Amino acid sequence: MRHLAIAASLLAITLPAHANPTLEGVASALYELAKTHAFLTWTVKHNGISGYTVNFTDFDADLVFDAETPTNSQLSVSINPTALNTNYPDPAKKVDWEAELATDPRFMNAGEFPTIEFVSTAVEQTGEFEGTVTGDLTFLGVTAPVTLDVTYGGVANPPWFGQRDVIGFTASTTLVRSDFGQNSMAGIISDEVEIEFSGEFLQAAE
């Protein structure tokens, strides 16, 4: 018995407490986006033959996460529509192209609409670690409901954050940009826009 107990305690030390993803022991708390580990992209079809992908490089999100009852969680996201990275290959043209995307009334029209916002209204669980988050997306001054497919990726506890939990998610949805009044270059640029997120949320400091 003593040997077994030693073996068990050694196992407890060597192995993680539980396989990831897990919700066990995760703090129900306010979490803030860990901006250095968060990626948000939009992809449209170009001429029907390739995906054109752009990163949003300045966005923030607050998550009130309920680990016991994830459907009680709440999410709000704010995106700066001028912070775009197209990875356009020519450096000078890249600046012009991103400025055009940001400010042209055909595209983000950021002069008139300086933020894109999402505020959740309902969370549903569809699997152990999967669910949907429905909310109001405000884009180009139009507010319309959007549903995100969300997967919880698990918890990490890097020592430099002390007792604060870090939790990871991926999320995706497909928007119809004409629903928000954007019809430019129809036939060349698809009406459907795929949105993808992967990133981490850090438990807010006490």
Partner 1 sequence: MTMSIKTYLTLGAATAILAACGGGTEPAETLEADAPPVEAEAASAELNPALVDVAEATYSIEKTHAFMTVTVGHGGGISQYRISFTDFDGALDFSPADPTSSSISFSINPMSVETNYPGDYKAGHADSGFESWNEDVSRNARWLNADEHPEITFVSTAVEKTGDLSGTVTGDLTLLGVTKPVTLDVTYNGLANPPWFGERDVIGFDASTTVLRSEFGMTAAIPSIGDEVTVEFSGEFLQDE
The binding site for partner 1 (CB under 8 A) comprises 20-21, 35-39, 41, 43, 46-53, 55, 57-58, 85, 87-89, 153-156, 158, 166-170, 185-188, 198-200
Residue 53 vs 132, nearer CB to partner 1: 53
Residue 12 vs 122, nearer CB to partner 1: 12
Length of the chain: 206
CB of 62 to partner 1, least distance (A): 16
Q: Which two tokens stand for residue 134?
A: 């429905």
CB pairs under 8 A, 24+ apart, for 156-162? 156/20, 156/200, 161/202, 161/203
CB of 200 to partner 1, least distance (A): 5
Residue 123 vs 202, nearer CB to partner 1: 202
User: What radius of gyration, in Å, describes the C-alpha atoms of the chain?
Assistant: 20
b/e burial code for range 20-33 (CB count within 10 A of at least 16 → b): ebbbeebebbebeb
DSSP 8-state secondary structure symbol assigned to residue 206: -
CB of 16 to partner 1, least distance (A): 8
Close Cβ partners of 74 (under 8 Å, ≥ 6 residues apart): 63, 64, 120, 123
In degrees and rounded to multiples of 5, residue 159 shows phi and psi of: -60, -30
Residue 46 vs 106, nearer CB to partner 1: 46
Residue 59 vs 139, nearer CB to partner 1: 59
CB of 101 to partner 1, least distance (A): 13
CB of 198 to partner 1, least distance (A): 4
